[in-house]
Amino acid sequence: MRGGGQLCDKGYLGCDNSPDQGDSPDGPACAGDGDGVSSGDWLLRLHHLRVAVDAARGAIHIVDDVSIAVGRGETVALVGESGCGKSMTAFAVLRLLAPPCRVVSGEILLRPGDAGPPLDLLRASARRMRSIRGARIAMIFQEPMTALNPVYTVGEQIVEAIRLHRRVSPRNARARAVELLRRVSLPEPERIAREYPHRLSGGMLQRAVIAMALACAPQLLIADEPTTALDATTQREVLDLLRDLQAADGMGMLLITHDLGIVADVADQVYVMYAGRIVEHGPTADVLSRPLHPYTQGLLECTPRMGRGKQRLETIRGSVPDPSDWPSGCRFHPRCSLSERLANAKTEAASSTTMFPETVLFPDGRHALRRCVTGGDSEGAPSPGDGDGAPSLRALRPGHFVACWEAEHQSIGA
């Protein structure tokens, strides 16, 4: 079942501005390890993945303790601002990271089509990975102009991908390439197959890259902003095509996007990533209708919606921090309106002559909760969370996980 539905006037999916009865933030935790996929149904599973960039002053962790699961026939969306580590996570899955980037720790498990044991891609040989890329795992890259070789025609590149993994004649491979170009709604696919990439528009290149990714009917498709350069009509056709392939072949898809409208329409599960970490995840309908993390709420409030008239869009102040200088405690605290609002309420309730120990005052006059900033309480004792003081993921509703100490104080729909 897809996320389905439309964003309401407050930016939440199918929200009636009040939680369902019995769906309180203190609901029971979901069974399992918290990745949203049952133990027998997953296709790809990332366990505590860490990716670093080696710099002069040491390793800089740009993907930090990320766990994601994609089930068979399931679409999992990975959303967040640019610079949060989404594409680096995708490159790590296919082992496309080049020095100075490297995987520091974790597992990337791929389950085969048969009943065999899962394969840890981080321990697979280079030859094994070449046989997996394009055949079992394919990727739609974000920049189509750089994904295609300028000295070969579009058709030649698709044919090469087909013949690398399938035992077919050149003639049959060319026929398959033309059919793929037709399926992604390119006009005159026979002619397009003979064209060089520089002779195609950005939207046509994007569709050609999608055709190449689907050439060998992969088990898993990683789609990094697959519809960015497409008009609304072609975007709908491409998304429908991907859904048809999933229904026919049980293909799983990891969708990386900024478009929450697409997420609401096609994704089963959504993971929200900020500053290299997953800060919230769960079923799409639940996360978009009742978001628990202030960052998720901020992303939804930034989404333009019909029927709102000429209202100014909300924004999330500031920008994603530099990976070489991640903030202490919760990495979102410099931009968090919830922490500021709760801290202001505490300071207003305290005596004007007394410094309230649970809050921190910044030079710009902004307040924040102390444990959001330092990862410790007012006495300096560490709060439950990760080793660096950041909050860890916990279930506040069945299957819905959030990394925020103050999520219970959210007023959804207010």
Question: Where do the structural domains in the chain lie, given as residue ranges?
Answer: 329-409
Whether the Cβ atoms of residue 343 and residue 367 lie closer than 8 Å to each other? yes
pLDDT band at 332 (very low <50, low <70, confident <90, very high): very high
Res. 18: pLDDT tops 70:
no
Buried b (16+ CB within 10 A) or exposed e, 145-162: eebbeeeebbbbbbbbbb
Count of other CB atoms within 10 angstroms of residue 277: 25
Count of other CB atoms within 10 angstroms of residue 303: 16
Range with lowest mean pLDDT among 6-15, 24-33, 348-357, 367-376: 24-33
pTM: 0.84
Res. 348: pLDDT tops 80:
no
Q: In this predicted model, which residue has the larger pLDDT, 316 or 411?
A: 316
Q: In this predicted model, which residue has the larger pLDDT, 345 or 283?
A: 283
Q: In this predicted model, which residue has the larger pLDDT, 376 or 208?
A: 208
pLDDT band at 26 (very low <50, low <70, confident <90, very high): very low
Res. 23: pLDDT tops 50:
no
Please state, rounded to an integer, the average pLDDT across all residues of the chain.
83
What's the token pair of residue 92?
């790590």
Per-residue pLDDT tens over the stretch 46-70: 999 999 999 998 999 999 999 999 9
Q: In this predicted model, which residue has the larger pLDDT, 23 or 284?
A: 284
What's the token pair of residue 156?
């030649």
| Measured distance CA(210)–CA(77) in Å, rounded | 17
Res. 6: pLDDT tops 60:
no
Q: How far is CA 253 from the centre of its chain?
A: 11
Stretch 390-403: mean pLDDT: 92
DSSP-assigned states of every residue in 24-61 = -TTPPPPSSSSSSS-TTSEEEEEEEEEEEEEETTEEEE
Per-residue pLDDT tens over the stretch 169-225: 999 999 999 999 998 889 999 999 999 999 998 888 988 999 999 999 899 999 998
pLDDT band at 266 (very low <50, low <70, confident <90, very high): very high
Stretch 90-102: mean pLDDT: 95
Stretch 138-166: mean pLDDT: 93
pLDDT at 5: 47
pLDDT at 309: 67
Res. 347: pLDDT tops 80:
no
Q: In this predicted model, which residue has the larger pLDDT, 217 or 32?
A: 217
Whether the Cβ atoms of residue 71 and residue 41 lie closer than 8 Å to each other? yes
Res. 37: pLDDT tops 80:
no
Per-residue pLDDT tens over the stretch 115-127: 678 999 999 999 9
